[in-house]
Structure 1
Amino acid sequence: MNTHRKLHLMNKLKKARAEGIAWFFYALLVFSFSLYTTQKANAGEEPASGQLTLVDATGNSLDALHLSTHVDMQINGLIAKVTVEQAFTNNSDEWREGVYVFPLDEQAAVNAMEMVIGDRRIKGEIKEKEVAEKIYQQAKAEGKKASLVSQQRPNLFTQKVANIPPRETISVSLTYTQRVEYHSGQFGLRFPLTLTQRYIPNSANLETNVVENTKNWDDERWENSAPDTAEKTPTSIDLAAGGYGWQSFNPIIHTQKPTPQVPDAHLISPPMVLAQGQYGDGQYEQTGKDNRATISIQLDAGFNVANIESLYHQITINKPPSSAYNVELTNGSTLMDRDFVLQWRATASSAPQAAVFKETLAGEDYLLLMLLPPQGQQQHTQSLSRDIVFVVDTSGSMQGTSIQQAKRSLQFALRGLNPSDTFNIIEFDTSFSRFRSRPVSATASNVQAAVSWVNNLNADNGTEMYAALEEAFDQLASINPNGTENSKSSNNLQQVVFITDGAVGNEQALLSLIHRRLNNARLFTVAIGSAPNSYFMRKAAQFGKGANVFIGDTAEVTHKMNALLSKLKTTLVSDINVQWPQQSEVYPQRIPDLYAGEPLLLAAKTSGAMGTIDISGNTALQPWQSQLTINPYHNNSGVAQVWAKSKIDALEDSKTEGANPQDVRKQVVDVALTHALITPYTSFVAVEELVSRPAHQPVQTQAVANLKPQGQTVSYPKTATSATFNLVLGIGLLLLAFALQLRSIIRALLHSFAPSECSGVNV
């Protein structure tokens, strides 16, 4: 080998070695970081858990701030008065501020708060939100114990507790009034113990690319094929602002960034962790929390009760003579990982058909009216053909048992279609896809193909509801009203059935869409999971002029979907009109249609309530009317708060319909300050005047984690790349570095020893 060739070969080898070394160190860096993050994940040190933990003398982990909750309910007829006491125990040797985002029923009218320090109870005051925040922050800075309770959503609140001393406990007690629910002969109420973490859309761009599944599959091929979603294109996502839109945190305070659609994202994104002993991502969660609640209920239904049951918890029931029923948790306490639901039913002979509850407060009379639709009408109503679009959530929050409940619910509804109906299915996560390009007739073959398509759905990624709902409305609007294969009659009922857990933060944008695009259609919601966003699900059904149902267990699918399908097919009473004896302020102002098993519920304020209330409407066969007499001697505590909450909800809804936000705010504040209610613009604040924390000792803020809902056994999509993926990437890059170095050496040798012979060879 001559000198020139030797130099050429040496230069090639040096270059190959330099490139290989560079790739090797880059791969080694990625591999080392991946190994570090994997070890942290395996050790249960996931930063997104929001946990601060200490270690006791035995080496066991101990929460720096421990939360315990006690719930006391007094139920009288249609009114429930609930007191929730949340205790924050500081197990550390440092002063703490606790921040806890927690759910309540969206109908809760929170009208009292107390801070409990030992045997001292400090009553909270209702203030405009900005004023209350300033009072709290000043007290915190001065070292005074203080508490602040604010509303982020009608069913989501934030509790702040400042200057909790080392090894001591501060409790905050909230009292609220809510209306008892009634559905299909069953009375009940729901107390949320945790929440499903909200998806935060990261872009104002709501456009989504769609994949159409319009192949002419036969039944056998559909049985064995998954939905064609490989080409689905996600909506515009800002990865730096939170990846798929699921929350991200630092270990002390949650730091989800605000987005154009959800400017308060950081206020509705608490840390979420598994309960102790639960499994996640296929492995035991060593650092799970033990948030527990005790529940005590006194139930005076006002009629003879046939049975009392809790859907998801074991309860013990006692009935002392001449007293209300006492209901307790059988095990004394429960993990706060799913909603508590209590239901009771009247005996056949005592089932009420109507009720009026009255409260007199500050010279004003407040009324709460409940009226059931006429009995025996349903079998006489005629079911019209329907154009129906099913919208099903397949996002990450639906993982676990929720997606199974959703699929079974949807398949049940599909099998209940009539041949004269038309239908389509839209499934969505970060993007959406369709069963067919437009609604098709509900023939046996089409229904069977749809059932098979649904069977192959899986849950993953983000929750971009907006585009999926918009597509559903577009499909209904595009159907030819003059009669085609897809529309048998211009009298077809047009309906959307929305199956989801409602775990989003942009509720207002979605409700605005429903209001604008619904036209003559009706929207029905099926709330899925052990801790759904009940506010959004009920409000969407209200805006959609439909009804809603909650399914928290797969065993409930059949009877609850049967009840919903009955409502889908018939409206019992429409065009309802109510005449009050005096001039009254009534909410809701637009009375909805009545469906089978659904009551008419109205709240009114009037002066000198006495006389009768006349109700009229139309059934499928004939006009209908009823009359109720007001008992002037009854006084039912809590009715005034129910009315005030109903008015506040109506004012907030008016923003969706174009009302001036500043005018709405002023009116809401006036009602809230009069009735001492928490609203989006008012908060409760309590301050102990005694200075407790020495000025030289700092106070550390800690976000108190909620438990992940029961049944969610896998993690949501993460903002950052997963540790496992990083580890695989690091190993792959190491192998690539060696391969590139070997390739460069071989090419250098070949070109040096036989450059002319190897000119056509690719290495």
Structure 2
Amino acid sequence: MRIGIRELLRQGMRAALLAVVAAPALAQTPGGGLVALNDVASGSLLLRTDEPGRYVRAPLVASSFDIDISGPVVRATVTQRFRNVSDKWVDGRYAFPLPDESAVDSLKMRIGGRFIEGVVKERDQARRDYEQARTEGRKAALVEQQRPNLFTNDVANIGPGDVVVVEIAWLQTLAPADGAFELRLPLVVAPRYNPKPVVHAVDFGPGGWAIRDRVPGREAIESPLADPREQPEGTIYNPVIISVDLQAGFPLGAVESRHHDVTVARDGDEAATVTLDGAVPADRDFVLRWTPDVGAAPHAALFRESAGGRDYYLALLTPPEPEAVTDAPARDVIFVQDVSGSMDGESIRQAREGLAQALRRLEAEDRFNIVFFNDRMWRYAPDMVPATPGNIAKALSAVAAMRADRGTEMLPALEEALADATPGETDRLRQVIFLTDGAVGNEAQMLQAITAGLGRSRLFTVGIGSAPNSYFMTRAAELGRGAVVYVDDPTEVAGQMAALFAKIENPVLTDLRAALPDGAGDLSPDPLPDLYAGDPVVFAFHTPEGEAGTVSLTAGRGGDAFEWRIDLAQAAPRAGIAKLWARKHIRKLEALASSQVGWEMGREKLDATILQAALDHRLVSRLTSLVAVDVTPSRPDGVESTATEVPLNLPAGWNAERFLDAPAPAPQLRKAALPQAELARLSTAAAPQPSGAPVPRGSLDWRARVLAGLLLLLMAIAGWRLHRRWPAGRTT
């Protein structure tokens, strides 16, 4: 009997303690404005709370995109509708992706008959204005850049029954690739794997620690997800409507949407209107592709806008494709393959086929290796492997056995692939091909690693799945002086991989240089990238207003030289060029942060330059935001608002069971970058335990756990007291 009482007491205390400790973590879900399932008379988005059987209604969201394309310039507007179907005042947050070079410059908000226009302010000031308006009960909206391709829109004080309409506008440029133009409109933010902060030793004395977060602003990019398993059949969550007005500027050939059913209405030879065939869920990117009519492909374009005493120019040039050569050097090709949990489902199947296609294209004189990674990293072989038929067959067997699970610790694999054992070797091309969806939050750290470790290598990225991180994929290829391709259609993997290898296997144009007229400046990008067959070069610059002259562009390939001359007088006027230059200029400045030039310039001066450019051209950036505030309070005094995040869709093809149930990543102890004296001390120190931040899912019934634990504890105490009163020697 004594053993039974002790065990009961121990179990009761343990259950109660665990329940109480777990309660705060489990209770971190939106609350307020609670309803029961019986209160719901129509389809509504319900967010679970810490009160069993009670839910809070979230704002319903719908988005429509109106896109005007004029040559290579895109002016796009997204209209988002927030509707509060509850009887409570709520604040909404919605995360939305945009193309990574988007120049966001306009925010307008309509509440009933009231119309409010946003202004660009320094980020901290814009946030203070928004929070003050929210606290005072005024309607407000705030657009912030969390990543160059990821923005958040906060809307404050949405009253019961209110419909708030928010319009956000941006500019971007398009360039032809392989003879076709393509607009890629991200519609879903793929959930990012955010590595836990790395533990570093610092000189604070014995036992001193500092945590440096590799994922800046991780809270802002960790949005909840709408579980597709819980959505009623036939409903569309986060519905999207898209309309495109295409003015190509040249005779059009085919116009097609890669992933959505559309209606294409032609308007003469050079224009078309494209619309979706009804609303669609925001669970995959919208990709529109159009090609010139036979013989009508443009090879150059020049546009100008005058503003603030300057002429801003945007130039686009597609060099003639060089003839294929038969004496191309042999290659060392290192494939980096993502096998993390976000790749599970259709993505890993596309990756298997894409990697197999790449291996089969290797020549006998080439060598290869494969670096696999999830939350750990391993190589296919210790050293480079000759691309013999037997070795290729063995590698194909390893590729066919690939499975996707666990976290996405991408950095160690990238560093391993870039590590060059023979940096002085010149008779072989060293190419790194990175196959991933890019679903990580530490993009800045990854890009810094590319800048620091590229050497003679060239980095090519292959975006896998329905919603790849296009900012990371594109920027990594730019810094890696390579190219990017998206493998997003299961039926066209072979063709898309073949297009990438057609670039890789053809000679490149290197040492690309632009000679600008006197007085011109701020070329972006600078330096200009290498060119691959079929790829154009797009660059922007400015001159004093009215300045004449020519731009000379030169490049080389082996012993051959190429030169092109562009007369500035031939530039066509086009609105938005100044803002597009500013966005490219800011992008260039941001890239300097990880370079020697940026180090010498100093981060404070660099940020001041970025801030001024963003304010001068009224653009959202890392340091500026758009804020719109109503002057009239609308929420009654004494009534509090409930904060709620609008969950995002899970990207199409992602495995809901695996991804939504994934555990939180554990902290990583990074040793390679530490001095040897610190390595010995850190190797014996235990890393902090993970705090636990699972993706919101399932029912969070923590109160029941607490009550059950307390009940067990009370039963144990009662049994213990009864046992003490039991007559001595009695055994039954």
Question: Which residue does the alignment assign to 1:629?
Answer: 567
Question: Which residue does the alignment assign to 2:441?
Answer: 505
User: Match of 1:598, as an amino acid?
Assistant: D
The answer to whether the 8 A contact 1:152-1:268 is kept is: yes
The answer to whether the 8 A contact 1:384-1:569 is kept is: no
Deviations 1:484-531 (A, max 9, x none): xxxxx7410011101111111111111111111111110000011111
Normalised by the size of structure 1, how large is the TM-score? 0.79
- Please tell me whether residue 693 in structure 1 is matched to residue 638 in structure 2: no
Question: Which residue does the alignment assign to 1:588?
Answer: 525
Question: Which residue does the alignment assign to 1:62?
Answer: 44
2:646 counterpart (686, 689, 704):
704
Q: Gaps spanning 5+ residues in structure 2: where?
A: 46-56, 202-210, 665-691, 706-732
Question: Which residue does the alignment assign to 1:217?
Answer: none
- Please tell me whether residue 612 in structure 1 is matched to residue 550 in structure 2: yes
- Please tell me whether residue 342 in structure 1 is matched to residue 285 in structure 2: no
1:118/1:18 CA distance change after superposition, 3 Å: closer
Q: What is the CA-CA distance between 1:627 and the residue it aligns to?
A: 2.1
1:372 counterpart (314, 318, 328):
318
Question: Which residue does the alignment assign to 1:385?
Answer: 330
Question: Which residue does the alignment assign to 1:760?
Answer: none
Question: Which residue does the alignment assign to 1:599?
Answer: 536
1:478 counterpart (421, 439, 450):
421
Tell me how far apart the structure 2 counterparts of residues 468 and 305 of structure 1 sit (CA, whole Å).
43
SS at match of 1:158: strand
Deviations 1:118-164 (A, max 9, x none): 23321101100111111111111111111111111101111111111
Q: What is the CA-CA distance between 1:580 and the residue it aligns to?
A: 2.5
2:263 counterpart (316, 335, 360):
316
Question: Which residue does the alignment assign to 1:461?
Answer: 406
Question: Which residue does the alignment assign to 1:412?
Answer: 357
Deviations 1:328-377 (A, max 9, x none): 001x21110111111100012110111111112223111111111223x2
Normalised by the size of structure 2, how large is the TM-score? 0.82
1:439/1:364 CA distance change after superposition, 3 Å: same
The answer to whether the 8 A contact 1:603-1:646 is kept is: yes
User: Match of 2:93, as an amino acid?
Assistant: V
2:578 counterpart (640, 643, 647):
640
Tell me how far apart the structure 2 counterparts of residues 673 and 688 of structure 1 sit (CA, whole Å).
22
The answer to whether the 8 A contact 2:214-2:442 is kept is: yes
The answer to whether the 8 A contact 1:273-1:288 is kept is: no
Instruction: Give 1:391-410 correspondences, 5 Å limit.
Output: 391-410=336-355
1:548 counterpart (481, 484, 492):
484
SS at match of 1:182: coil
SS at match of 2:110: strand
Question: Which residue does the alignment assign to 2:450?
Answer: 514
Question: Which residue does the alignment assign to 1:149?
Answer: 143
1:99/1:28 CA distance change after superposition, 3 Å: closer
Question: Which residue does the alignment assign to 2:279?
Answer: 333
Q: What is the CA-CA distance between 1:573 and the residue it aligns to?
A: 1.5
The answer to whether the 8 A contact 2:553-2:565 is kept is: yes
SS at match of 1:700: strand
1:546/1:53 CA distance change after superposition, 3 Å: farther
2:459 counterpart (517, 523, 547):
523
Instruction: Give 1:108-507 correspondences, 5 Å limit.
Output: 108-204=102-198, 260-274=213-227, 278-279=228-229, 290-321=237-268, 324-330=271-277, 332-375=278-321, 377-380=322-325, 382-474=327-419, 477-479=420-422, 490-507=426-443
Deviations 1:269-294 (A, max 9, x none): 111123xxx458xxx87898711011
Tell me how far apart the structure 2 counterparts of residues 52 and 495 of structure 1 sit (CA, whole Å).
56
Percentage of matched positions with identical amino acids: 35
Q: What is the CA-CA distance between 1:637 and the residue it aligns to?
A: 1.0
Q: What is the CA-CA distance between 1:180 and the residue it aligns to?
A: 1.1
Deviations 1:671-699 (A, max 9, x none): 11110000001011111111111111111
662-671 vs 286-295, greater mean Cα deviation:
286-295
Deviations 1:247-270 (A, max 9, x none): xxxxxxxxxxx9621131101111
Q: What is the CA-CA distance between 1:382 and the residue it aligns to?
A: 3.6
Q: What is the CA-CA distance between 1:569 and the residue it aligns to?
A: 1.9
Instruction: Give 1:709-720 correspondences, 5 Å limit.
Output: 709-714=651-656, 715-716=658-659, 717-719=662-664
1:560 counterpart (492, 496, 502):
496
167-176 vs 604-613, greater mean Cα deviation:
604-613
Q: What is the CA-CA distance between 1:630 and the residue it aligns to?
A: 2.8
The answer to whether the 8 A contact 1:382-1:620 is kept is: no
Deviations 1:436-464 (A, max 9, x none): 01211111111111111011111111100
The answer to whether the 8 A contact 2:303-2:574 is kept is: yes
Tell me how far apart the structure 2 counterparts of residues 599 and 338 of structure 1 sit (CA, whole Å).
27
SS at match of 1:565: helix
1:136/1:58 CA distance change after superposition, 3 Å: closer
- Please tell me whether residue 665 in structure 1 is matched to residue 607 in structure 2: yes
1:23/1:355 CA distance change after superposition, 3 Å: same
Deviations 1:17-74 (A, max 9, x none): 45665687689989999xx99xxxxxxx998899998557565551221001010000
Tell me how far apart the structure 2 counterparts of residues 58 and 129 of structure 1 sit (CA, whole Å).
39
Question: Which residue does the alignment assign to 1:6?
Answer: none
User: Match of 2:471, as an amino acid?
Assistant: Y
The answer to whether the 8 A contact 1:71-1:85 is kept is: yes
User: Match of 2:266, as an amino acid?
Assistant: K
The answer to whether the 8 A contact 1:200-1:259 is kept is: no
SS at match of 1:378: coil
The answer to whether the 8 A contact 2:175-2:316 is kept is: no
Q: What is the CA-CA distance between 1:181 and the residue it aligns to?
A: 3.3
The answer to whether the 8 A contact 1:381-1:572 is kept is: no
92-101 vs 57-66, greater mean Cα deviation:
57-66
SS at match of 2:104: strand
- Please tell me whether residue 679 in structure 1 is matched to residue 621 in structure 2: yes
SS at match of 1:417: coil
SS at match of 2:573: coil
Question: Which residue does the alignment assign to 1:737?
Answer: none
Tell me how far apart the structure 2 counterparts of residues 259 and 168 of structure 1 sit (CA, whole Å).
42
Tell me how far apart the structure 2 counterparts of residues 416 and 322 of structure 1 sit (CA, whole Å).
39
Q: What is the CA-CA distance between 1:318 and the residue it aligns to?
A: 0.8
1:621/1:89 CA distance change after superposition, 3 Å: same
Q: What is the CA-CA distance between 1:117 and the residue it aligns to?
A: 1.5
Tell me how far apart the structure 2 counterparts of residues 111 and 420 of structure 1 sit (CA, whole Å).
52
Deviations 1:296-315 (A, max 9, x none): 11000000010101111111
1:615/1:480 CA distance change after superposition, 3 Å: closer
SS at match of 1:403: helix
The answer to whether the 8 A contact 1:380-1:621 is kept is: no
1:287/1:317 CA distance change after superposition, 3 Å: closer
SS at match of 2:565: strand
The answer to whether the 8 A contact 1:541-1:548 is kept is: yes
Q: Gaps spanning 5+ residues in structure 1: where?
A: 1-13, 38-44, 208-257, 482-488, 731-763
